[in-house]
């Protein structure tokens, strides 16, 4: 990419082998000139790792880095409506009514709400928000799959190739909660579900985010039914912007109290 030597990891096997099986070799992050200057050269290594963890924790404690209510609704509602237009239109709300009722939902409800959990996972799978992942960087020569990746090489895990892999998903380009349900309707994991990359740091962050997403989605559908002015299938799901990140368009949604 320009003057920068770059390796792109394509497909589940390559991404998983690099970021999980050889995680220690791929912990480096691409040096960003501004951050490199601001941190006086601390862009990788143990000090960088500690600084990053401290910064993320502090920002989270002060409420930064969290999406507002309007942003969450803009992201989730169109896909919720698309799912409601199918034969299982009321399944998710019936499940919430049966398990949660009128009380406040909690994380302990998650196991008893497999369809709701499947819908949430499928939203993240379908949106493909970070198709190119976070750029990594070779801090030393890396032996990978019989090749040598030289030091100072930019490494891009192509998450899009994982989330749209036809060998790992029945209908990779269609919104389908069955991707996360077994034949008995129980929630099932898919190892190719890597919407935010992989590795220890990103997994901890994803668990924190998934808890918030789950509680938000359940609370939203517990109290509101969503509709639009036209037919649900008339909604254009084309992206407003697509590059290193996919940015959904904004929509006019009607929220009716239940």
Q: Please tell me the distance from the alpha carbon of residue 48 to that of residue 62, in angstroms, as a whole number.
A: 21
Question: Are residues 254 and 228 in contact, defined by beta-carbon separation less than 8 angstroms?
Answer: yes
pLDDT of residue 161: 92
pLDDT of residue 59: 46
CA of residue 137 relative to chain centroid, distance = 22
Q: Is 142 helix (H, G, I), strand (E, B) or coil?
A: strand
pLDDT of residue 87: 46
Question: Are residues 73 and 94 in contact, defined by beta-carbon separation less than 8 angstroms?
Answer: no
Segment-wise mean pLDDT, segments of 10 residues, the chain, 258 residues: 90 90 84 52 53 52 50 59 56 91 90 90 84 85 94 91 91 90 92 75 53 81 80 73 77 82
pLDDT of residue 210: 63
pLDDT of residue 180: 94
pLDDT of residue 145: 93
Give 189's contacts (C-beta < 8 A, 6+ positions apart): 180
Going from N- to C-terminal start, the domains of the chain cover 6-257
At the topology level of CATH, where does 6-257 sit? Cytochrome p450 (1.10.630)
């Amino acid at each position: 990419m320009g003057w920068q030597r770059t390796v792109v990891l394509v497909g589940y096997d390559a991404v998983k082998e690099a970021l999980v099986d050889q995680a220690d070799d791929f912990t480096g992050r691409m040096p960003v000139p501004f951050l490199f200057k601001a941190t006086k050269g601390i862009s990788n290594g143990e000090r960088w790792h500690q600084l990053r963890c401290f910064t993320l924790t502090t920002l989270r404690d002060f409420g930064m880095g969290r999406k507002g209510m309007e942003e969450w609704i803009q992201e989730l509602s169109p896909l919720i409506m698309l799912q409601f237009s199918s034969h299982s239109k009321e399944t998710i709300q019936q499940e919430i009514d049966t398990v949660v009722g009128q009380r406040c939902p909690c994380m302990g409800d998650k196991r008893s709400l497999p369809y709701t959990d499947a819908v949430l996972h499928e939203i993240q799978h379908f949106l493909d928000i970070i198709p190119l992942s976070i750029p990594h960087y070779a801090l030393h020569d890396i032996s990978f799959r019989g090749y040598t990746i030289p030091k100072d090489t930019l490494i891009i895990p192509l998450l899009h190739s994982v989330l749209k892999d036809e060998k790992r998903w029945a209908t990779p380009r269609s919104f389908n909660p069955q991707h996360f349900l077994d034949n008995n309707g129980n929630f099932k994991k898919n190892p190719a579900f890597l919407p935010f990359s992989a590795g220890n740091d990103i997994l901890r962050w994803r668990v924190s985010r998934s808890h918030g997403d789950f509680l938000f989605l359940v609370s939203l559908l517990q109290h509101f039914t969503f509709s639009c002015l036209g037919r649900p299938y008339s909604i254009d799901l084309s992206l407003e912007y697509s590059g290193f990140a996919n940015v959904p368009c904004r929509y006019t949604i009607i929220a009716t109290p239940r």
